Structure 1
C-alpha cells in the first residue's frame, strides 16, 4: 500500500490535497501537527480513503507545540470519531500511552518509533519490547547513514512476517531510498509517498506518483528481481525511468532502483542475494571488477565494467558503453580504416575508443591538460595522440566528442571549431543533456550527419536490459522515455 501524508499547512490546502491524492493513495495519513486550525471531522468526511491520524511532537519529527497531555487528547478525540488508525509514538509518557492502547475500541493503533540520526545494528530488542504492547501495527523507522543499513530493516521485516505481525519498516534519507521502494515487497504493510515534491513528511520520501507508476510498489512480489545502478552520486541517473518502463512494457515483474554506494565490495557482498543485476556508474566502474567471477573480454580490454550479470555460476562484468557506441554508429559502419577523431581521454573515450579500434578504425585521441593520462590511453589503443589545439591537422571522417564540453548548463560551449566541420564528416556527441548540443547544431548547419548522445545512452541501456533478461529491449520506448525526460528539463 501507498500512504500519502497530508501536511497542510492550512485546512484549505489540506482539503485540496485530499482531493488531489485520490488516484495515488491507498491510505491517507492526516498529519494534524502540520495542519493549522484543523477540522478533523471535516477532513475525515472528505478523505474518501482509510485514514491514519497522526499528531507528532518535535522529538519525533513533528511540529505539535503543546503538552503531551494535549497531544494525546487529540488522538483520543480521533478514537471517539471512529477513525481507521491512529499513530502513537513509543516516546509517549507511559500512562498516556497505556490509556490509548487500553481504550482504543475498534480503532487500530500503529505504535511507532523513529530514529532520525542512525540505524542501530540490532533492532530486535526494540521489536521485542514493542511487540509486547497491544498495538495492531508496529512501525520502526530509522535513518540510513550507509546503504547497508537498509538490510537491518529488511531482516526485521522478515522476522515480523514470520511472527505474522503487521509492520512498517524502512530507512529515511537518501541512502534509505531503496527501503522505501522495497519495503512492501519485503513484507512491510505500507510505504509513504508524498503528494508531490516539497510535500514530504520525512527525509528521503519519494513521490507517490513515482512509487505507483514507475516503481509499481504495489505489484512487487517476493520473487521480483531487483536491479539497480550503483554510483556516487546516483540522484541524476535516468536509469530508474528507462529500465522500469522497459520492464513494464515487456511484462516483467522486476524493479530497478538507485543505490548510493561508497564501498563497492562491502555493498556487493551484503546485497548479492537480493540482486538480479546492476548498472555501474562513476566512480565504481573499475572497483567493481574485483568482485566479479568473470570479465567479458571487451570490458577487460577497456578496464571498466558498467553492467553486472549473474549467470548461475557467479557474476560477469560487461561494458555496454562499448557495444552501445557501435550500435549508435551502425548506419556508418564498417569503420575499417575510417579516420576517427575522439575529443577527450576519460572513461567514455576509453570505452568508445576501444570499440572503434576493435573495428579497425584509424584512431586519433586528443588531450587538453593531462598529456600523460591521454598518452597512456593512446598507447593502450595503439593510436595517435594530439593536443586539442591541433585538431585542424587531423584527418576526420567521424568526430566523436567524449568530453563533457557542451553539457548543461554550459550549453554554449563546443569542443570543436565550427569552421572545421565539413558536410562529409559524421559528428557523434556523447553528451545527451541537452539532446541537441552546440556541436550538433554547428554540424547540422554544416551539412554533417549527426549522432546524438541519446543514442549512446539508449543503446547502452538496451544492451544492459538484454544481458539481464535475455529478451529484446523495447528500444523505441526507452528512447522516448529519455527524450521526454530531457525535454521536461528544458
Structure 2
C-alpha cells in the first residue's frame, strides 16, 4: 500500500479525517514524515499554506515506499488557486476536485480506491460477455442530471465528450479547463459509473482541431490527475505527445483509438493488423473504426476480430472494432466489447448512425444472439419479479421473470432443466435450493452453505450467493477495502445460517477478528471468528463495524450497544466505520446513534437493491445500477 500525501485548504480539513476513515490508513504528523521517511498505508497532510511543491518532491526522494501525492481542491475556489499556485499543481500525482456543499463521501471513496489500486472497473467490464458505454453529447451535463439514472441504465461506462462541451458565453470553440473540471465533477456526483474521458479530433469525427493537439494532451494529463477510469487517446497524436502522457497514467486505462472516415480502411489487409499492433503498444484497449457503405463489410470486421483473437495472448489488449455509416450498423451491434451506444434523451448521438442500447438488444434478440430466457422467481417480499421484468423491458430484453411459490426439489430441478430456463432466484432463507443438483457453486455459496441464485452457463447449473456479493459491494462504496482489512468486527444474529452472508462478505475483505453475538460458527472458520463470552465482549467493543441480522422483534438492545461502542472509540480517539442492519430502516433508534457518531449506515433497502443488481449481472450479464432499482421500486410503491 502507498503512503498518501494530502494537501488541503484549512477550510476543508474535514477531508483529512474522512480520508483516514475511508482508507483505514494511519495519519502521521508532517514532522515525523520529513525526518524519517514514510510508511506504507499512512497519510501525511499538509495545509496548503505550508506545503511548497518542493516538500512533496522531497518526501518522494527519501523513501522506497510508494508515495501518492493528492491535491484536494475545491472547485468553488479553483480559479483563484490555479493563478496562485500555477505550476505547483504539476508536482502532484493526482488532484481531487469537489464542490462545496455538494460533497459525496461515496465519490471521494471511489476516487481514493481507484487511485490506490484497490478498485478495478476495467476487470469488471472485461469479465462481461457484452459491455457498452453511453456517449454523452451534452454541451453542459447539468441539463441531464435528473435523467442520468435513466440515460445510463444498462451502461458499463459513460463517455464524456470534452470536444462537445460548450460553456455559455465562452470565448472561442474550445471549453476552458475550469469548465471541463466542473463538468467532470458534476458527472461524478450524479453517477458512479466509470468515465471515459474523450477528446475527439476533427478528422476522427469530433470537433477538436488538429492545431490544438498540445492543448488536448494537457487536458488528458489533467484527466489522469483527476483519476478518470479511461482516457481515449487517438493514434493521430505524435509519438512524442503520447510519450509525454503515458508515464503518468497511474491506474487509468488507455483506449488507443484509430478512426478512418476516408473509406480507405481495408479490414482484410495486413496494414490494418499493423494498426492494431501499433495501438497495442500504448493502449490497454484498442478501438478501430472504419466506414462502410455495404452491409457485407460487417463480415470483414468479424473475420478481422477473429484473426486478432487467434493471434493474441491473455495479456493482449481487447479489441473493439466496427464500421460507421449506414452500412456499419450491424458491425456496431455485433461488437461485444465496450460498444458505443446512444439514448433517445441525448441531444444527439456521439457518432452518425449510432444505435441506442434498446435498439441493439432488439436486433440481437432477432439475430438469436440474445436467447429469450425464463427466470424463475420463488417469491418472497424481498424478491420482486415485477421489478426484474421492469429492468428487462427497460433494456428491451426478451427475458421474462416468472414468479412461483416454493415447491418440491424435484419439480424445481425439472424447471431448471427446461431449454428456455435462464436461472432461478430464491429466498435468502430458503434451504430447499441447497438440495438441487448443481454443476458447481461459487466461493460465496460454498462458504455460506447456501444458494440464493442459480445461473445457467452452457447448460450447466451454477449456484451463487448474491446476498454475500451484494453486501460486499455496499461495504466498499464508502470504505476502501484497506479500511476493513485486518479490522475487528461484531456480527449479531440468531444463527450462522442467518448471518453467513455477512460473514462471507467480511472474510472476502480480509477483516480481522469476527466477534459473533448470538450464534457460533462452523469449525472451518473458527480461526477468524469467535463467539462472544464475557471475556471476548470487552474486546468486541472496539470493533470498527457492527452487523445485525436480527429480525425486528429482537432489536431493543442495538441502540445502547452502538452507543457503548461509540463511547469506547471516542475515548481511544478512534472511529467505527459502519453499521449494517439487514432488517433495519432509517427510522430505527440504532441508526440514529450510528449516524450521530459518524458511522456509515447500510439498511435493508440498500441491500435489496445491491443484491438485485448482482443477480441481474449473474443471470443475464446486464449492468443495472442500484440507484435505478431503488428509483423504480419507489415508483412502484407510489
TM-score (norm 1): 0.47
Q: Of the two structures, which has the highest relative contact order with CA contacts closer than 8 Å and spacing of 6 or more? A: 2
TM-score (norm 2): 0.37
